[in-house]
Structure 1
Protein backbone atom coordinates (compact mmCIF):
# COMPACT_ATOMS: atom_id res chain seq x y z
CA UNK A 1 0.00 0.00 0.00
CA UNK A 2 1.24 3.45 -0.89
CA UNK A 3 1.57 5.41 2.37
CA UNK A 4 1.31 8.73 0.52
CA UNK A 5 -2.37 7.93 -0.14
CA UNK A 6 -3.06 8.10 3.60
CA UNK A 7 -1.96 11.73 3.93
CA UNK A 8 -4.46 14.09 2.25
CA UNK A 9 -1.95 16.74 1.22
CA UNK A 10 0.34 14.22 -0.51
CA UNK A 11 -2.34 12.00 -2.09
CA UNK A 12 -1.70 12.18 -5.86
CA UNK A 13 -4.88 10.25 -6.73
CA UNK A 14 -6.82 13.44 -5.98
CA UNK A 15 -5.84 14.82 -9.39
CA UNK A 16 -8.31 12.32 -10.92
CA UNK A 17 -11.22 13.72 -8.90
CA UNK A 18 -13.81 16.11 -10.28
CA UNK A 19 -13.09 19.80 -9.74
CA UNK A 20 -15.96 20.13 -7.24
CA UNK A 21 -14.64 17.23 -5.15
CA UNK A 22 -11.13 18.72 -5.07
CA UNK A 23 -12.51 22.13 -4.05
CA UNK A 24 -14.65 20.56 -1.33
CA UNK A 25 -11.60 18.67 -0.05
CA UNK A 26 -9.51 21.84 0.14
CA UNK A 27 -12.34 23.81 1.77
CA UNK A 28 -12.66 21.05 4.36
CA UNK A 29 -8.92 21.18 5.09
CA UNK A 30 -8.97 24.98 5.34
CA UNK A 31 -12.00 24.85 7.67
CA UNK A 32 -10.26 22.19 9.75
CA UNK A 33 -7.11 24.26 10.19
CA UNK A 34 -9.13 27.41 10.94
CA UNK A 35 -10.89 25.43 13.67
CA UNK A 36 -7.54 24.35 15.08
CA UNK A 37 -6.41 27.97 15.22
CA UNK A 38 -9.63 28.94 17.01
CA UNK A 39 -9.24 26.06 19.46
CA UNK A 40 -5.66 27.09 20.18
CA UNK A 41 -6.56 30.71 20.85
CA UNK A 42 -9.63 29.88 22.94
CA UNK A 43 -8.23 27.02 25.00
CA UNK A 44 -4.64 28.07 25.74
CA UNK A 45 -5.37 30.04 28.96
CA UNK A 46 -7.84 27.44 30.26
CA UNK A 47 -5.50 24.53 29.53
CA UNK A 48 -2.61 26.40 31.13
CA UNK A 49 -4.58 26.80 34.36
CA UNK A 50 -6.25 23.38 34.45
CA UNK A 51 -3.57 21.15 32.94
CA UNK A 52 -0.38 23.21 33.40
CA UNK A 53 0.11 22.87 29.65
CA UNK A 54 -1.37 25.57 27.45
CA UNK A 55 -1.24 23.28 24.43
CA UNK A 56 -3.03 20.34 26.12
CA UNK A 57 -6.37 20.61 24.28
CA UNK A 58 -4.70 21.63 21.04
CA UNK A 59 -2.41 18.58 21.08
CA UNK A 60 -5.32 16.25 21.81
CA UNK A 61 -7.36 17.74 18.98
CA UNK A 62 -4.38 17.63 16.62
CA UNK A 63 -3.91 13.92 17.33
CA UNK A 64 -7.58 13.26 16.52
CA UNK A 65 -7.31 15.37 13.36
CA UNK A 66 -4.39 13.25 12.14
CA UNK A 67 -6.21 9.99 12.91
CA UNK A 68 -9.34 11.33 11.19
CA UNK A 69 -7.47 12.45 8.08
CA UNK A 70 -5.94 9.00 7.70
CA UNK A 71 -9.39 7.46 8.15
CA UNK A 72 -10.81 9.94 5.64
CA UNK A 73 -8.27 8.96 3.00
CA UNK A 74 -8.83 5.25 3.59
CA UNK A 75 -12.58 5.71 3.12
CA UNK A 76 -12.17 7.97 0.07
CA UNK A 77 -10.03 5.35 -1.66
CA UNK A 78 -12.45 2.47 -1.00
CA UNK A 79 -14.85 1.48 -3.77
CA UNK A 80 -18.29 3.02 -3.25
CA UNK A 81 -20.05 -0.34 -3.70
CA UNK A 82 -18.05 -1.79 -0.81
CA UNK A 83 -19.01 1.12 1.45
CA UNK A 84 -22.67 0.88 0.41
CA UNK A 85 -22.62 -2.86 1.07
CA UNK A 86 -21.52 -2.25 4.66
CA UNK A 87 -23.60 0.86 5.36
CA UNK A 88 -26.64 -1.02 6.68
CA UNK A 89 -24.53 -2.94 9.21
CA UNK A 90 -22.94 0.23 10.55
CA UNK A 91 -26.34 1.92 10.64
CA UNK A 92 -27.75 -0.89 12.78
CA UNK A 93 -24.64 -0.95 15.02
CA UNK A 94 -24.80 2.78 15.73
CA UNK A 95 -28.59 2.60 16.20
CA UNK A 96 -28.03 -0.01 18.90
CA UNK A 97 -25.34 2.20 20.48
CA UNK A 98 -27.74 5.17 20.49
CA UNK A 99 -30.16 3.15 22.59
CA UNK A 100 -27.33 1.83 24.80
CA UNK A 101 -26.64 5.45 25.81
CA UNK A 102 -30.09 5.52 27.41
CA UNK A 103 -29.25 2.65 29.79
CA UNK A 104 -28.35 4.09 33.21
CA UNK A 105 -24.69 3.53 33.97
CA UNK A 106 -23.67 3.03 30.34
CA UNK A 107 -24.61 6.38 28.84
CA UNK A 108 -22.71 9.49 29.88
CA UNK A 109 -24.67 12.65 30.46
CA UNK A 110 -23.77 16.00 28.98
CA UNK A 111 -26.08 18.95 29.61
CA UNK A 112 -28.82 16.69 31.08
CA UNK A 113 -28.94 14.39 28.04
CA UNK A 114 -27.38 10.94 27.78
CA UNK A 115 -25.64 11.19 24.41
CA UNK A 116 -22.22 9.68 24.96
CA UNK A 117 -20.94 6.17 25.54
CA UNK A 118 -17.43 5.19 26.56
CA UNK A 119 -15.85 2.42 24.53
CA UNK A 120 -12.68 1.82 26.46
CA UNK A 121 -10.99 5.16 27.11
CA UNK A 122 -12.66 6.78 24.10
CA UNK A 123 -16.03 8.52 24.53
CA UNK A 124 -18.14 8.48 21.36
CA UNK A 125 -21.43 10.06 20.39
CA UNK A 126 -23.29 7.45 18.29
CA UNK A 127 -25.85 9.98 17.06
CA UNK A 128 -23.06 11.79 15.19
CA UNK A 129 -21.45 8.64 13.85
CA UNK A 130 -24.71 7.28 12.42
CA UNK A 131 -25.33 10.28 10.14
CA UNK A 132 -23.05 9.35 7.20
CA UNK A 133 -24.36 5.79 7.23
CA UNK A 134 -27.93 7.07 7.36
CA UNK A 135 -27.27 9.11 4.22
CA UNK A 136 -25.56 6.19 2.45
CA UNK A 137 -28.28 3.69 3.36
CA UNK A 138 -30.98 6.16 2.34
CA UNK A 139 -29.33 6.67 -1.04
CA UNK A 140 -28.97 2.93 -1.49
CA UNK A 141 -32.57 2.24 -0.48
CA UNK A 142 -34.25 5.06 -2.39
CA UNK A 143 -32.14 4.28 -5.46
CA UNK A 144 -33.81 0.85 -5.55
CA UNK A 145 -37.20 2.02 -4.26
CA UNK A 146 -39.22 0.81 -7.26
CA UNK A 147 -37.60 -2.66 -7.23
CA UNK A 148 -37.96 -3.54 -3.55
CA UNK A 149 -41.01 -4.97 -1.83
CA UNK A 150 -43.30 -3.02 0.45
CA UNK A 151 -42.20 -5.19 3.35
CA UNK A 152 -38.56 -4.10 2.92
CA UNK A 153 -39.61 -0.49 2.38
CA UNK A 154 -41.65 -0.40 5.59
CA UNK A 155 -38.91 -2.18 7.56
CA UNK A 156 -36.31 0.41 6.55
CA UNK A 157 -38.70 3.31 7.11
CA UNK A 158 -39.26 1.89 10.60
CA UNK A 159 -35.50 1.74 11.17
CA UNK A 160 -35.13 5.32 9.99
CA UNK A 161 -37.92 6.29 12.41
CA UNK A 162 -36.05 4.52 15.24
CA UNK A 163 -32.92 6.49 14.36
CA UNK A 164 -34.86 9.75 14.64
CA UNK A 165 -36.49 8.61 17.88
CA UNK A 166 -33.12 7.60 19.34
CA UNK A 167 -31.52 10.92 18.43
CA UNK A 168 -34.46 12.92 19.80
Structure 2
Protein backbone atom coordinates (compact mmCIF):
# COMPACT_ATOMS: atom_id res chain seq x y z
CA UNK A 1 0.00 0.00 0.00
CA UNK A 2 2.89 2.35 0.64
CA UNK A 3 3.97 2.03 -2.99
CA UNK A 4 0.43 2.76 -4.18
CA UNK A 5 0.27 5.94 -2.12
CA UNK A 6 3.71 7.05 -3.33
CA UNK A 7 2.58 6.52 -6.93
CA UNK A 8 -0.58 8.47 -6.04
CA UNK A 9 1.46 11.42 -4.77
CA UNK A 10 3.53 11.43 -7.96
CA UNK A 11 0.48 11.07 -10.22
CA UNK A 12 -1.41 13.87 -8.48
CA UNK A 13 1.50 16.24 -9.14
CA UNK A 14 1.73 15.04 -12.75
CA UNK A 15 -2.04 15.46 -13.11
CA UNK A 16 -1.70 19.07 -11.95
CA UNK A 17 0.80 19.79 -14.74
CA UNK A 18 -1.29 17.90 -17.32
CA UNK A 19 -4.31 20.00 -16.36
CA UNK A 20 -2.29 23.19 -16.73
CA UNK A 21 -1.07 22.12 -20.16
CA UNK A 22 -4.53 21.27 -21.46
CA UNK A 23 -6.11 24.42 -20.01
CA UNK A 24 -3.51 26.52 -21.83
CA UNK A 25 -4.03 24.58 -25.08
CA UNK A 26 -7.83 24.85 -25.00
CA UNK A 27 -7.76 28.50 -24.00
CA UNK A 28 -5.34 29.27 -26.83
CA UNK A 29 -7.47 27.39 -29.38
CA UNK A 30 -10.62 29.18 -28.26
CA UNK A 31 -8.88 32.56 -28.29
CA UNK A 32 -7.54 32.00 -31.79
CA UNK A 33 -10.95 30.90 -33.10
CA UNK A 34 -12.56 34.16 -31.92
CA UNK A 35 -9.97 36.36 -33.61
CA UNK A 36 -9.57 34.58 -36.94
CA UNK A 37 -10.15 37.18 -39.68
CA UNK A 38 -9.01 35.01 -42.54
CA UNK A 39 -11.22 34.82 -45.63
CA UNK A 40 -11.54 31.08 -45.20
CA UNK A 41 -13.34 31.66 -41.92
CA UNK A 42 -16.34 32.96 -43.88
CA UNK A 43 -16.59 29.73 -45.83
CA UNK A 44 -19.30 27.50 -44.43
CA UNK A 45 -17.18 24.42 -45.13
CA UNK A 46 -14.09 25.58 -43.27
CA UNK A 47 -12.99 23.69 -40.21
CA UNK A 48 -12.62 25.72 -37.05
CA UNK A 49 -10.93 24.23 -34.05
CA UNK A 50 -12.46 25.98 -31.08
CA UNK A 51 -10.85 23.69 -28.53
CA UNK A 52 -13.32 20.80 -28.71
CA UNK A 53 -10.70 18.30 -29.83
CA UNK A 54 -8.29 19.38 -27.11
CA UNK A 55 -11.11 19.27 -24.56
CA UNK A 56 -11.97 15.71 -25.58
CA UNK A 57 -8.33 14.66 -25.36
CA UNK A 58 -8.01 16.27 -21.92
CA UNK A 59 -11.15 14.49 -20.73
CA UNK A 60 -9.82 11.13 -21.93
CA UNK A 61 -6.49 11.67 -20.17
CA UNK A 62 -8.29 12.84 -17.01
CA UNK A 63 -10.45 9.71 -17.13
CA UNK A 64 -7.40 7.54 -16.44
CA UNK A 65 -6.26 9.72 -13.54
CA UNK A 66 -9.73 9.66 -11.98
CA UNK A 67 -9.89 5.88 -12.38
CA UNK A 68 -6.54 5.50 -10.60
CA UNK A 69 -7.63 7.71 -7.69
CA UNK A 70 -10.93 5.85 -7.34
CA UNK A 71 -9.16 2.48 -7.31
CA UNK A 72 -6.57 3.69 -4.79
CA UNK A 73 -9.35 4.94 -2.49
CA UNK A 74 -11.09 1.56 -2.70
CA UNK A 75 -7.85 -0.34 -2.03
CA UNK A 76 -7.00 2.01 0.84
CA UNK A 77 -10.40 1.33 2.33
CA UNK A 78 -9.85 -2.42 2.13
CA UNK A 79 -6.17 -2.80 3.00
CA UNK A 80 -5.36 -0.20 5.68
CA UNK A 81 -7.48 -0.68 8.79
CA UNK A 82 -7.14 2.65 10.60
CA UNK A 83 -10.11 4.91 11.22
CA UNK A 84 -8.37 7.92 9.73
CA UNK A 85 -7.60 6.10 6.50
CA UNK A 86 -11.14 4.77 6.25
CA UNK A 87 -12.58 8.27 6.67
CA UNK A 88 -10.18 9.78 4.14
CA UNK A 89 -10.81 6.93 1.69
CA UNK A 90 -14.57 7.41 1.90
CA UNK A 91 -14.28 11.18 1.47
CA UNK A 92 -11.78 10.72 -1.38
CA UNK A 93 -14.05 8.18 -3.05
CA UNK A 94 -17.00 10.57 -2.82
CA UNK A 95 -15.04 13.52 -4.22
CA UNK A 96 -13.56 11.33 -6.95
CA UNK A 97 -17.02 10.12 -7.92
CA UNK A 98 -18.31 13.68 -8.25
CA UNK A 99 -15.36 14.77 -10.38
CA UNK A 100 -15.57 11.55 -12.42
CA UNK A 101 -19.17 12.41 -13.30
CA UNK A 102 -18.11 15.96 -14.13
CA UNK A 103 -15.46 14.52 -16.44
CA UNK A 104 -18.09 12.34 -18.12
CA UNK A 105 -20.14 15.48 -18.80
CA UNK A 106 -17.10 17.00 -20.50
CA UNK A 107 -16.64 13.82 -22.56
CA UNK A 108 -20.28 13.74 -23.63
CA UNK A 109 -20.25 17.21 -25.18
CA UNK A 110 -16.81 18.84 -25.31
CA UNK A 111 -18.16 21.78 -27.30
CA UNK A 112 -20.61 22.83 -24.61
CA UNK A 113 -18.32 22.39 -21.60
CA UNK A 114 -14.76 23.38 -22.39
CA UNK A 115 -11.73 22.15 -20.46
CA UNK A 116 -10.49 25.64 -19.69
CA UNK A 117 -13.74 26.10 -17.74
CA UNK A 118 -13.46 22.89 -15.70
CA UNK A 119 -9.67 22.84 -15.44
CA UNK A 120 -9.62 24.99 -12.31
CA UNK A 121 -11.90 22.54 -10.54
CA UNK A 122 -9.80 19.61 -11.70
CA UNK A 123 -6.65 21.35 -10.42
CA UNK A 124 -8.35 21.79 -7.04
CA UNK A 125 -9.23 18.08 -7.11
CA UNK A 126 -5.61 17.22 -7.86
CA UNK A 127 -4.45 19.18 -4.81
CA UNK A 128 -7.07 17.43 -2.65
CA UNK A 129 -5.88 14.04 -3.89
CA UNK A 130 -2.27 15.04 -3.19
CA UNK A 131 -3.20 15.74 0.42
CA UNK A 132 -5.24 12.54 0.71
CA UNK A 133 -2.43 10.43 -0.76
CA UNK A 134 0.05 11.91 1.74
CA UNK A 135 -2.33 11.15 4.62
CA UNK A 136 -2.86 7.65 3.23
CA UNK A 137 0.89 7.10 3.01
CA UNK A 138 1.38 8.17 6.64
CA UNK A 139 -1.46 5.90 7.76
CA UNK A 140 -0.13 2.96 5.74
CA UNK A 141 3.30 3.37 7.36
CA UNK A 142 1.74 3.54 10.83
CA UNK A 143 -0.42 0.51 10.11
CA UNK A 144 2.57 -1.49 8.82
CA UNK A 145 4.58 -0.59 11.95
CA UNK A 146 1.75 -1.60 14.26
CA UNK A 147 1.33 -4.86 12.40
CA UNK A 148 5.03 -5.66 12.86
CA UNK A 149 5.08 -4.70 16.54
CA UNK A 150 1.77 -6.28 17.42
CA UNK A 151 2.14 -10.03 16.94
CA UNK A 152 -1.43 -10.74 18.00
CA UNK A 153 -4.22 -10.89 15.48
CA UNK A 154 -6.00 -8.00 17.19
CA UNK A 155 -5.35 -4.64 15.58
CA UNK A 156 -3.87 -2.11 17.98
CA UNK A 157 -6.09 0.88 18.61
CA UNK A 158 -3.22 2.99 19.91
CA UNK A 159 -2.31 4.10 16.39
CA UNK A 160 -5.76 5.02 15.17
CA UNK A 161 -5.68 8.78 14.96
CA UNK A 162 -2.98 11.31 15.47
Q: State if a TM-score over 0.5 links the two structures.
A: no
Determine which structure has more spread, i.e. the larger CA radius of gyration.
2
Q: TM-score, normalised by structure 2?
A: 0.29
As a proportion of its length, which structure holds more strand? 1
